[in-house]
Each structure stands twice: as structure tokens, then as C-alpha cells.
Amino acid sequence: MPSVAPADTVLQYLTGAFPDASRWWSDLVDSGGVVDEHGRTITPDTRYQPTRFVYFYREPAPEIPVPYEIDILYRDESILVIDKPHFLATIPRGAHIVESAVVRLRRDLDLPDLAPVHRLDRMTAGVIVFTVTPDLRRPYQQLFAEQRIVKEYEAIAGFDPALSFPRTVRSRIEKVHGEMTATEIDGEPNSETYVDLVGTLTDSAGRTLARYLLRPRTGRTHQLRLHLNSLGIPIVGDNYYPQYRPAAPGDFSIPLRLLARSLEYPDPITGATRRFVSSRSLDRGL
């Protein structure tokens, strides 16, 4: 708060500084939603405090529920493995807070310390591993840092009979903070993906599409989407590449046909091989 203000109380300052929200501030103070820098509740009678900070708790905007359930593939006292649906964020970000996998699972399973070992973006479905207790986060995250995780993805994308498979795609990917899309630029490659053709299929519009097996050796932002797009075969349902097209809020009609199909790794505690496989299908609605 400023060193000088025409106010005797904190509430008077807030309602005077933000007159269009004066009723909101009054209700928030009455409910105990404003505190000082020591965590003490601000009341309607709390004297104005020049140059001091006040903090308030703001309810997030209502979120549109993602109409798909999280499937649990495995659970014990150490880890939880899920099969995430399309459109659900892994962790709270931007407008997606309650409608994120970690918040849903912490609430529904009463696991307050649950944390993802890795992430899938909101539009990608598939296998994610969570640790149940904080002491296991570092050992599991170390597996990813040391690239001891074997990840396989499945994608349905365009088909070009002139392309030969299998092949390895390498490029340099840069992502500018605040921009929606990443870009492939000239320079030393920092991303690598093994791509193989599994088979072809025909969608309801009569288009010939193809199913691909993808094994990323690196984990750059939008790497798989960019690498298939660079081959001229963008993933079906991709509204980012080759051209960004914002989706309407609450539109769950066009999923990205990209799935984290399986995950395999040596257990960091026992050394035993663990493998988890998604049961989801990319074909529905094509």
C-alpha cells in the first residue's frame, strides 16, 4: 500500500483504490479473505498500514469440466500410474486448475503428496507415473534425467507413400516463453524421434491415414507434433501445427490423435523392470 493514502482503514483504501469492486472487497474482508504480511486477518476496522503489503485469496474462475474419467492402471504405496484422457492437463496451469489430473487425483484418492514424475500436455492422452510420497520423487525423476525411461507413443497422422520408414527425425526446437507454438530452426539438433509406420486406415471422410509408432529420445516441447509435421504428415486433430487455430472453450469434439502408449523403466528401488500400457484407442470417432 502507498506511503500516503486518503484512508483510515485498509478496507477504505481497497474500496477507494478499486471503486468498481468496492462491494467485492467488503465481502472479501468480511469473510476473512484478506491478510497482512504476517498472515493476520484484516477486518473492517484494521487501521491503514502505509508501505505494508496485504494479501487476498481469490477464487479461481469456474472451469468447464473435462467430461472424461481418469483410468488407473496401477497403484501401490509408492506409485500411482494412470491412463490420462485427452483434454485434461497434468498439472494446474493457466485456466486449468481443478481440471487437472493431479488435483483430481489428490482430491478423489485423498493423496495430498501425489506428484507427477513426468508430464503429458493437455491434448495428449496416455500413461503417466505419479509418486505417492515425497521421498520417491527424486529417484524417479532421476530416471528421466538419465534417459533410462523407454517411452512409446502412437499417433494417427497423414499418409505419404513417398516417405520411407522407419526413420529418425532430428531437429533444433526452440520455444519462446509466452508463445503458443514451438519452432524448428537451423542449428545443432536438440531433439530426436524414431518414427515407424505401423499401418494405414481410412477415416469416415474417405481419407487415407496412417498409424505411427514414435519413440522420442528427447523431450522438447511439442516435439512429436513438430517432427511429424516436418515430414508433411501432421497429426490428426492438431490445432497447433502446421497452423495455430485456437479451440473454443469447452469444445471436446476433436482430440489430438496422439497417445503415450507405453512406459518402461527399471524400478529405482528394486531394479525390477516395470512396464505400463495404455488401453485407450485413437480410432474412436475417425
Query: What are the backbone dihedrals phi and psi of residue 29, each rounded to the nearest 5 degrees, phi first?
Result: -65, -45
Number of folded domains in the chain? 2
Residue 178 counted as domain residue: yes
Residue 161 counted as domain residue: yes
Q: Which residue has the cell 497422422?
A: 157
Give the CA dihedral 26, 30, 35, 36, nearest 10 degrees.
Answer: 70
One domain, residues 15 and 48: yes
pLDDT score, position 175: 92
Q: What CATH number should be reported for the domain holding residue 257?
A: 3.30.2350.10
Give the separation between CA 88 and CA 115, rounded to whole angstroms: 16
The per-residue pLDDT for range 247-284, each reduced to its tens digit, is 888 899 999 999 999 999 999 989 999 999 999 999 98
User: Grid coordinates representing 147?
Assistant: 534417459
pLDDT score, position 155: 98
Residue 62 counted as domain residue: no
One domain, residues 52 and 132: no
Angle at 115 between CA 113 and CA 121, to 5 degrees: 150
The per-residue pLDDT for range 65-110, each reduced to its tens digit, is 999 999 999 999 999 999 999 999 999 877 777 899 999 999 999 9
Per-residue DSSP letter, 134: G
Task: Express the helix, strand and coil content of the chain in percent, nearest 5 each.
Answer: 15, 30, 50
State the CB neighbour count (10 A cutoff) for residue 66: 21
The per-residue pLDDT for range 199-236, each reduced to its tens digit, is 999 999 999 999 999 999 999 999 999 999 999 999 99
pLDDT score, position 227: 98
Residue 244 counted as domain residue: yes
pLDDT score, position 153: 98
Residue 285 counted as domain residue: no
Model confidence at 21, pLDDT cuts 50, 70, 90, reads confident
Q: Is the pLDDT of residue 246 over 90?
A: no
Q: Which residue has the cell 496451469?
A: 93
One domain, residues 75 and 52: no
The answer to whether the bond into 242 is cis (omega within 30° of 0) is yes
pLDDT score, position 154: 98
pLDDT score, position 145: 83
Which of 69, 98, 129 minimizes the C-alpha distance to 260?
A: 129
Do 240 and 194 touch, CB atoms closer than 8 A?
no
Which of 241, 199, 209, 245 minimizes the C-alpha distance to 224?
A: 241
pLDDT score, position 285: 87
One domain, residues 110 and 216: yes
The per-residue pLDDT for range 126-150, each reduced to its tens digit, is 999 999 999 999 999 899 888 899 9
One domain, residues 251 and 127: yes
Instruction: Say whether 23 sits in a helix, a strand or coil.
Output: helix
Average pLDDT score over the chain: 93
One domain, residues 174 and 259: yes
Give the separation between CA 208 and CA 158, rounded to whole angstroms: 7
Global pTM value: 0.80
> Range of 43's domain?
10-56
One domain, residues 228 and 150: yes
One domain, residues 18 and 138: no
The answer to whether the bond into 166 is cis (omega within 30° of 0) is yes
One domain, residues 273 and 132: yes
One domain, residues 43 and 103: no
One domain, residues 147 and 46: no
Residue 238 counted as domain residue: yes
Residue 23 counted as domain residue: yes
